[in-house]
Amino acid sequence: MALIQPLKTIYLYDEPNAAGLDIAQIGGLLASEFRWAEVLARSDFITHHLRRFSTPERRTLEKELLRQLETARDLDRSRLCRADGTFYPGDDEEELIFDSAYLQSVFRLLVPEEESSAEHLHIVFTEHLLATRHEEEGDIRLHIVALGEPSLISTSGLVEALPRPREYNFRRAQIAMFGLGPEALEDLAEDFADVTFGYGDPRINEVCKGYALMACFYRAFGEAFCENPQCRLFAARTQEQLIAVQCGTHAGLCAYHRQLLESLRPQE
């Protein structure tokens, strides 16, 4: 794997609506791994980048952004699937789901020229769901991360994009069928806490560290994922894998990617 671009600056953008998300904690890991790069934590992406414009300019941009974001939401919800191809019903028609490639193209327009070169990496955390059209399969699939510029990480995708264990789904369907109260759902979440990921999950920062690393490796080498299920760059296919890879006691990079990272270290 050849070096594509050395990283000079990594910008992390907050998602204030994601319970427990601490981008300073995630940034701390990136700063320790990419010690030659500056890691900067910022407010949410749109707020930060609109700040540099005058009030009249900002109002015009906000209107155009709303129009573009509506286009990015133009998805056929009947074709929505999770990452494994199983149908995603969604619980709320107002749930915001974006075409990730289109959303990236909209966000790129807000990045100032001095921060748009390949040595700068923007990583945006968002509570909204991300989806990609798969024309060959005929579906639209949810996913957690969209790599590129900027890289997008969906905190809701951590919960919704990956399938849960079959037994969990069966018991949840029973709870819905019998009209049981919220206590039954709380008990279910507790019973499956080791293999499922939920909203407000205290492990959110550990999980997001792995996806932020994927974004950095993609920028540096053009490849982000690892086939080794013990490596933090492994693209989990289920929630159980997600937790095992990112939250285990030995969560980290495999030997190959550790060596690759060391090869980036500037010679002193």
**pLDDT values of the chain reduced to their tens digit, one per residue, 268 residues:** 556 667 999 999 999 999 999 999 999 999 999 999 999 999 999 999 999 999 999 999 999 999 999 999 989 888 999 998 899 987 666 789 999 999 999 999 999 999 999 999 999 999 999 999 887 778 999 999 999 999 999 999 999 999 999 998 898 889 888 888 888 888 888 899 999 999 999 999 999 999 999 999 999 988 899 999 999 999 999 999 999 999 988 889 999 999 999 888 765 5
From the CA atom positions of the chain, what is the Rg in Å? 19
Strands (E), the chain: 9-13, 38-42, 80-81, 97-99, 120-126, 129-134, 139-143, 145-146, 151-154
Q: Convert 61-82 to b/e letters by CB count within 10 Å (16 or more is b).
A: beeebeebbeebbebeeebbbb
pTM value is 0.94
Q: What are phi and psi of 63, to 5 degrees?
A: -65, -45
If you count DSSP H runs as helices and E runs as strands, how many of each does the chain have, helices first? 10, 9
Q: How far apart are the first and last CA of the chain?
A: 23
Say whether 196 sits in a helix, a strand or coil. Answer: coil
Domains of the chain plus CATH, in order, are 9-161+200-226 (3.40.390), 163-196 (no CATH)
Q: What is the pLDDT of residue 235?
A: 93
Closest CA to 108 of 169, 65, 71: 65
Q: What is the pLDDT of residue 181?
A: 81
CA 151 to chain centre: 8
Q: What is the pLDDT of residue 185?
A: 83
